[in-house]
Structure 1
Amino acid sequence: MRTTLGLLLLIGAVSCRFFLDRDPTSFFANGTLSCKLNKTWCFHVKMYEDDFGFEFANDVIDFYGTRCTSLEQHEYELSGNQFGDGLWNEEYEINISVTHNCTISGKKRRFRRMPQIVPVETPRVEITLDLLDVTDLGNEFVEHYV
Structure 2
Amino acid sequence: MISKIYSSSSIYFSTDDKIDFFGPKCTREPSYNYKLSGKQDGDGGFWNTFYELDFYIIHNCTNHGAKMRQIRRNTQYAPASALFVEIKPWNSSITNQGQETAEFF
TM-score normalised by structure 2 residue count: 0.83
C-alpha separation in 2, matches of 1:90 and 1:45: 26
C-alpha separation in 2, matches of 1:117 and 1:128: 11
Report the Cα offset of residue 65 of structure 1: 1.7
**2:100 paired residue number:** 141
Report the Cα offset of residue 145 of structure 1: 2.2
Normalized per residue, which structure has more helix?
1
1:53 and 1:78, CA in 2 relative to 1: closer, same or farther beyond 3 A? farther
**1:67 paired residue number:** 25
1:104 paired with 2:63, answer yes
Structure possessing the higher relative contact order (Cα contacts under 8 Å, 6 or more residues apart): 1
1:53 and 1:132, CA in 2 relative to 1: closer, same or farther beyond 3 A? farther
Q: 2:44–2:51: 8 Å Cα contact kept in structure 1?
A: no
Report the Cα offset of residue 53 of structure 1: 7.6
Report the Cα offset of residue 142 of structure 1: 1.1
**1:130 paired residue number:** 90
Aligned length: 102
What is the percentage of aligned positions where both structures have the same residue? 34
Report the Cα offset of residue 72 of structure 1: 2.4
> Structure 1 segments of 4 or more deviating over 2 A?
86-89
**2:54 paired residue number:** 95
Residue type matched to 2:26 in 1? C
Larger radius of gyration: 1
Normalized per residue, which structure has more strand?
1
Which structure 1 segments of 5+ residues have no match?
Answer: 1-42
Q: 1:48–1:59: 8 Å Cα contact kept in structure 2?
A: yes
Cα RMSD of the aligned pairs, angstroms, is 2.0
TM-score normalised by structure 1 residue count: 0.62
